[in-house]
Chains A and B, each alone.
Chain A
Amino acid sequence: MKDSLSKKQAYNFTPGQVITGKWHGNKYRIIRILGEGAIGRVYLAQTGGRLVAVKVARQAMSVSSEVNVLRRVSKVQGLSLGPSFLDMDDVVTSHGTTSFYVMEFIQGQPFMPFVINKGSEWLGLFTAQLLGDLHKMHAGGWIFGDLKPENLLITKQPYQLRWIDPGGITKAGRSIKEYTEYFDRGYWGEGDRKAEPSYDLFAVAMLMVNRAYPSRFRKTSQKGTDYILEKVTGAPLLHPYFTVIKKGIEQKYEDAGQMKEDVLMALRNQKRAAVPSRLKRKAVLKKRNAPVNKTAGTPVTRERKGYLETVFFASFLLTIYILYLVG
């Protein structure tokens, strides 16, 4: 949107600036900008000795709309991975009045770099965590909408996935508010943009695909699902999750709980079957590809180093996670 200069300045805060709410009187000292999106900016700020995230929008009505969603979604029982809502107010500056809202500041690492640097079992674990929360959100009548790595963070101790941007959350049955093409089933010609669980699950499947193709790929003249599955086949690290991804993009899952079950199953199978099948595959690879394609062989060998540790670590994590699930 082309904004007039004064409008731009009204939501442009500088580090050190203190903004005071017109209605509730809370004071927030701006530390730095955290991000900028389609509807406004998010700043890191300090209030009463704690860090918070302050979201400022170009239009007051977008703030009201998001706060309304955030407030109601946070009432959904057991939902744990989103930010909590803290305050909403207006600030009057010399450039005009701007609406903002305040939420919990979630400190973490961006999702994609984190999972890319770790083994593919982490992708499964975080996907399972995400699906657990989505399941509850869906049961409460809400659809996440704009699901993408940029809206996910990994926090430490223990490593956990959190989601940060409530801007796309849409009431089930309505039309999706915000989306990103790569994760949107409409873009791939695989459905409309009605907010329903299968819309989110398609995006979850694409989130997994994105792990193997960090720079993403664009649609072709080929049918969406066919092309995506071709890409999945071409990425060995996605093979353990092939069925999950396939069912996700073909929208065969009734709910997020089923998909989560399948992800956990894939993790378990990967652990049990991995060693022999890997050896076999490697042997086959050597025989078939060694003279033709050297580069394809190298990562496999490299991956095998410390493989036992990974398997050991994964099974350890899995045990803990299953204990957590059961308990």
Chain B
Amino acid sequence: MSQGTVRQILLITDGCSNAGEDPVAMAAMAREEGLSVNVIGITNEGDESERGMEEITQIAQSGGGMSEVVYARQLSQTVQMVTKKAMTQTIHGVVNREIRQILGTKQEMEDLEPEKREELMEVVDELGETSNLDILILVDTSASMKTKLPRVQEALLDLSLSLRSREGENHFCLYSFPGKRSHVDKLVSWTPQLDSLKGAFKKLSSSGITPTGPAITEAIKVHMKRMKKGPSDNERLFIEETGI
């Protein structure tokens, strides 16, 4: 099981979607495909739009992931924490399914006595550390995000640093939405490490649309393609940066 891969979509946004399919439904679809969707909502101090924040929670819930709403300056620590916690949660879910298969009925880890739970938790922690992680990062680059993008960039480099400290392998890829011609643009293709994101967010769309739903749909496709094909041989060697 140490070869197992946890697949995540990490969505970073500051507001609610206004174009295309319902992102909550698309997140549910991602979950069906074995992915989990985590959402980080960035808010300005003193300006929290109820609707946007509500949507963030809902996307994460139906996507089987976690959500957190933070100020831009708290981004780094939150992004790595949410990612790691969501990983543990996914593995926890897998372990629970195994338990149900073995014990039948509706037993879960929480129904076991504390001592047994502790032993199982050790296994969960171990798997969290050693399993591989494929994480597709979807960054909202609509006009209102402009001032927050330097922080996003910093947080993503920090995430890479945190994950690199694990034993398991990591692969990242980075997409932004809305794209120039389509819903999403690829900024960085699958790479084991996010090294430099300088200039990655340079060319931003100034259109008023935020197609969160279509962006998640595209993210599912990218994940599925990678799952079928498996990692390519040369992906470790170079980072393709578009949009510069």
Contacts and interface: CB of A to CB of B under 8 A. Distances in A.
Contacts, number: 71
A311 B177 CA distance: 64
A68 B114 contact: no
B124 interface: yes
Given A68-B122, A186-B162, A60 B167 contact: no
Nearest to B164: A192
Interface of chain A, main secondary structure: mixed
Contacts of B84: 175
Contacts of B110: 60, 90, 97, 99
Contacts of A308: none
Interface string B54-95: 000100000000111100000011000100100010001000
A192 B77 CA distance: 14
B93 to A, nearest CB: 11
Nearest to B163: A175
B65 to A, nearest CB: 12
B50 interface: no
A61 B122 contact: no
Contacts of B113: 23
B109 A60 contact: yes
Interface of chain B, main secondary structure: helix
A207 interface: no
B66 A1 contact: yes
A71 B121 CA distance: 13
Interface string A56-69: 00001100110110
A68 B125 CA distance: 11
B114 A65 contact: no
B109 A193 contact: no
A29 to B, nearest CB: 21
Contacts of B109: 60-61
Interface of B: 57, 66-69, 76-77, 81, 84, 88, 92, 109-110, 113-114, 117-118, 120-122, 124-125, 129, 158, 161-167
